[in-house]
Amino acid sequence: MEAWATYRTSTAGDWPAERLVKAKGANRVSVVLPARNEEATVGAIVATVREHLMDRTPLVDELIVVDSRSTDRTAQVARAAGAEVVGQDAMTRGLPRLTGKGDALWAGLAAAEGDVVAFIDADLREFRPHFVTGLLGPLLTDPSVDFVKGFYHRPLVGATGVEPDGGGRVTELMARPLLNLFWPELAGFVQPLAGEYAGRRTVLEQVPFVTGYGVETAMLIDLLDLVGLDALAQVDLGERKHRHQDTAALGRMSAQIMLTAWSRLQRRGWAAPGTAPTALLTQFRRGGSDALPNLDREIVVNDVSVQERPPLAQLRHRVPRRRVAA
């Protein structure tokens, strides 16, 4: 793990845009943002990529925002800032209707035409171009790299101050111990759940995309099996600022990651075949009109099940040949 981390880790500063323009050759580069109700942040991200990596420096060839059933002005804001906006449902029309970020990512991959595709979360604040160039660097300069994962410091703002690395709670409490236990080859990834990553289209089209919060975990495990650890890399992107979820939401996220890991364990024969853990998560909410006697809490049951969109390569013939706007 230490050898891999030394060999396959770089920083965003290692990859200036001008160098990457020379290195990209005939490769086309796509940037995809899955977005659901992100009108407050998506415009600034799109405008930054457009200005610095398309207009000033011709590194990115297409910039796509996938509108994941937003109820706000996400699509309009993104389009006004210079992105091409496609609808998640439009790109998956005729296929089973799935929900969550993973399906939006799959739709974005289907819409994109680049040889290299970078995915960026649409809720980032104080976004800078190096979030894109850092991910693209290893892919455009080293043909042996197939996938690059970002990592960063994630400050958590609390009532008593700022905890510099307090934002990765699910990573440290659940995802990292889980990966170390069953997939120790992946132990060198600083941020296994990071939402910023890039890969070669030919590779990304060969792995399934899990719905919900299991998508990043499944992608790492499946890519490890498909191309091996040496084809995976990571890049330090500095500091990432975005909104944080409450503890109950993090519990639901953790449950989906655990269910995703269980499915991969079954595929390896490490979990009992033909069995499935429950996908219902019981949580407690303090107070409320339905609080039970003696508990002073409501019982809240959530369905945390995850589904998978098969590899795009298997369904390419059923995907619209042209991008369908949202």
- pLDDT confidence of residue 288: 73
Q: In one letter, which amino acid is 49?
A: V
Number of neighbouring beta carbons within 10 Å of residue 321: 7
Residue 17 has pLDDT above 90, yes or no: yes
pLDDT score, position 22: 96
CA–CA gap between residue 219 and residue 203 (Å, rounded) = 11
> What is the percent of the chain where pLDDT is above 90?
77
* Reported confidence tier of residue 316, pLDDT bands at 50, 70, 90: confident
How far is 255 from 306, CA to CA, in rounded Å? Answer: 10
Indicate if the pLDDT at residue 182 is higher than 80. Answer: yes
- Look at 41-55, 236-250, 306-320 and tell me which has the smallest mean pLDDT: 236-250
Query: For residue 260, what pLDDT is reported?
Result: 95
Tens-digit pLDDT profile for residues 196-225:
999 999 999 999 999 988 999 999 999 999
Which residues, other chains included, contact 155 with Cβ-Cβ below 8 Å and sequence gap of 6+?
162, 163, 164, 165, 166, 167, 239, 241
Q: Per the structure block, which two tokens stand in for 130?
A: 């190096």
User: Confidence band (pLDDT; 50, 70, 90) for 243?
Assistant: low
Per-residue pLDDT reduced to its tens digit, 94-129: 999 998 899 999 999 999 999 999 999 999 999 999
Strands 197-200 and 29-35: unpaired
From 3-17, 148-162, 251-265, the region with the lowest mean pLDDT: 148-162
User: Between these two residues, 7 and 324, which has the higher pLDDT value?
Assistant: 7
**Dist. CA 147–CA 280, nearest whole Å:** 33
Please state, for a pLDDT cut of 70, what percent of the chain lies above it: 93
Confidence of residue 285 (pLDDT cuts 50, 70, 90): confident
Residue with tokens 């920083």: 11
Mean pLDDT of the chain: 91
In SS3 terms, the chain reads as CHHHHHHCEEEHHHCCHHHHHHHHCCCCEEEEEEECCCCCCHHHHHHHHHHHHHHCCCCCCEEEEEECCCCCCHHHHHHHHCCEEEEHHHHCCCCCCCCCHHHHHHHHHHHCCCCEEEECCCCCECCCCHHHHHHHHHHHHCCCCCEEEEEEECCEEECCEEECCCCCHHHHHHHHHHHHHHCHHHCCCCCCCCCCEEEEHHHHCCCCEECHHHHHHHHHHHHHHHHCHHHEEEEEEEECECCCCCHHHHHHHHHHHHHHHHHHHHHCCCCCCCCCCCCEEEEEEECCCCCCCCCCEEEEEEECCCCEECCHHHHHHHCCCCCCEC
Q: How confident is the model at residue 86 (pLDDT cuts 50, 70, 90)?
A: very high
Q: What is the structure's pLDDT at 41?
A: 96
Which pLDDT score, from 0 to 100, does residue 159 have? Answer: 54
Model pLDDT, residue 291: 81
